[in-house]
Amino acid sequence: MSDSLSVYLHDHLAGANYAVEVLEFLRDQGEPHSGVAAGLLAEIEEDRAVLRRIAETVGDNVSTVKEVTAWVGEKISEFKLSKGGFGVFQAWEIVALGIVGKLALWEALDLVSQKKPDLKQFDLDSLQVRAQDQHRRAEWARLDAAKVVLG
């Protein structure tokens, strides 16, 4: 695999790990949208598994360095996120923005699949549609939290 593709996939794996941690935080807060967080968490864990399979398929050993770095960063930010409603709002914003990044990943891989036939075995079109739906749900929860926190 090209170094650029490897770095790109690892960056997104680290982001997926971070998203899982943030969604677990949101799910466990007992806030009004915990059910949305739980649903997104299950789907994002599935997406992360697909991303790992993509990295393995194109010949890369998944590096844990960036994944651990994302985990440590999440633990550091957890203190900030745990501070009431504003933390919940920030967490939803992180999730919504991360999903936009994931959509960009699926779109880029779809484009690259023209030259990398190993990627054609993954249903990148469905992953893009799912990311759009995930973003819609995360954005709804984010804006609802904004109404409460930002007035």
Q: At what angle do helices 84-112 and 3-28 cross, to 10 degrees?
A: 150
Backbone angles phi, psi at 40, to 5 degrees: -65, -40
Residue 26 has what pLDDT?
A: 92
Which pLDDT belongs to residue 12?
92
Is 0.95 surpassed by the pTM of this model?
Answer: no
pLDDT tens for each residue of 76-97 = 555 456 667 888 999 999 999 9
Q: Is 43 exposed, middle or buried (0-12, 13-18, 19+ CB in 10 A)?
A: middle
| DSSP designation for 61 | P
pLDDT in tens, the chain (151 residues): 567 888 899 889 989 999 998 999 899 988 789 999 999 999 999 999 999 999 888 876 655 555 555 555 655 555 456 667 888 999 999 999 999 999 999 999 999 999 999 999 999 999 999 999 999 999 999 999 999 999 8
CB atoms within 10 A of CB 2: 12
